[in-house]
Structure 1
Amino acid sequence: MAVQVLERDGEPEYAVLPWAEYQELLAAAGRQPVVRAAAPLVQEPPVFDLANLRRLREARNLAPEQLARAVGISPHYLGLIESGERLPDQAILRALTRLFAAAPEGSAD
């Protein structure tokens, strides 16, 4: 049996073992096996439409400097993204998606 013992202040506090071995111990003790519920699906945010980035920014009365600061990039890089010269990485896309999903169109941040 592959048991890992976790200690606190030098005293055993928890025993960790593989799930299958835990189920076997339950069965040997005459107890019902534990049935795990399926993990909830994590829903990905919608894909951000870069073609509308400038229009969305302007609709929220955001200066390029404000939007760039909000997503952690330089205003110059934001200009390259808005013009289609650069594609942002996934972290920047997620930040843009969260930012524009949080505020209704036409509101100032």
Structure 2
Amino acid sequence: MSVQVIMREGAPEYAVLPWAEYQALLQAAGQAVAPAAEAASSPLSRLAELREAKGMSQADLARAVGISPHYLGLIESGEREPDSAILRSLARVLEVTDWERPS
């Protein structure tokens, strides 16, 4: 198992592991396994399509939002989930109104 441990002030705070390994752990613990389709239904799954429809490159959108093109690529691929400020900026730049997270 490939786990990345994130430390804060010398103590482990988070463990990061690949999605497939996380799903295997959930299954072994008798928990429900989240279907891959659930992740694909996220509004962010349309991010690249919306960006391209606006005629923007990743670099253009990243610059407008204030993040790096690399980070935007990670968001587009589903590897990273943006915080609420970045999500609001993406929605503003792409003129999308239904990207609010529940509180």
Query: What 5-or-longer segments of structure 1 have no aligned partner?
Result: 1-47, 103-109
What is the aligned partner in structure 2 of residue 67 from structure 1? 61
What is the aligned partner in structure 2 of residue 83 from structure 1? 77
Query: Which structure is higher in RCO with an 8 Å CA cutoff and minimum separation 6?
Result: 1
* Identical pairs, percent: 62
What is the aligned partner in structure 2 of residue 6 from structure 1? none
Q: CA deviation at 1:86?
A: 0.2
What is the aligned partner in structure 1 of residue 26 from structure 2? none
TM-score by length of 1: 0.48
| Displaced runs of 4 or more, over 6 A | none
1:51 aligns with 2:53: no
Distance 2:69 2:94 in 1: 17
Paired residue secondary structure (2:80): coil
1:99 aligns with 2:89: no
Q: CA deviation at 1:98?
A: 1.0
TM-score by length of 2: 0.51
The two structures, once aligned, show a CA RMSD in angstroms of: 1.5
Q: Indicate the structure with greater helix content.
A: 2
Query: What 5-or-longer segments of structure 2 have no aligned partner?
Result: 1-41, 97-103
Q: Highest CA radius of gyration, 1 or 2?
A: 1
Distance 2:76 2:43 in 1: 11
Matched letter for residue 62 of structure 1: M
Distance 1:101 1:85 in 2: 23
Paired residues in the alignment total: 55
Distance 1:101 1:66 in 2: 15
